[in-house]
Amino acid sequence: MHAAEVAEPKFGKYFLIPFLGLTVGYLDDEQACTVHLPFAPHLCNAGGGVHGGVLSTVLDISMGHACNRYLSAGSTVEMQMRFVRPVRSDVTATGRIIHPGKRIVQLESRMLDDTGRLVATANGSWFRHDANN
């Protein structure tokens, strides 16, 4: 059983996944989580690109799910995003653990468009819920 299943039985039913139409997958050999966001016009800003808040959410979910699946349920402590180019297609973010600290986990995520171009990156820190044990 994975850490998320032990700590949060409803983790896989997180409300933003169906709301945004996300598909979550795992690369167990890499301890990574992929989150696919299909392009949808209602998610776009006035310029026609997917809103940065939506992209930030996808990056956050990819890192949070990686932490939850491979280490412990956790909470975002801080995140930094870099938007490289506007998004006008489907995208996939891949979150990975960089450093599995005892209390604070360091993660990163890279988001690619449907042609494989980098569109955004993020890094962040998560507090491990099992840190008090």
Where in the chain are the domains?
Answer: 3-132
pLDDT of residue 42 exceeding 70, the answer is yes
pLDDT of residue 8 exceeding 50, the answer is no
Instruction: Give domain 3-132's CATH superfamily.
Output: Hotdog Thioesterase (3.10.129.10)
The sign of the dihedral angle between the CA atoms of 30, 61, 50, 81 is negative
Count of Cβ atoms closer than 10 Å to residue 85 Cβ: 11
> With contact defined as beta carbons under 8 Å apart, do 111 and 91 qualify?
yes
What is the pLDDT confidence band of residue 38, given thresholds at 50, 70 and 90? very high
Compute the mean pLDDT over every residue in the chain, rounded to the nearest whole number: 89
pLDDT of residue 69 exceeding 90, the answer is no
Nearest alpha-carbon partner for 67 in 13, 94, 106: 106
Residue 68, H or E segment = helix 52-70
pLDDT of residue 80 exceeding 70, the answer is yes
pLDDT of residue 3 exceeding 90, the answer is no
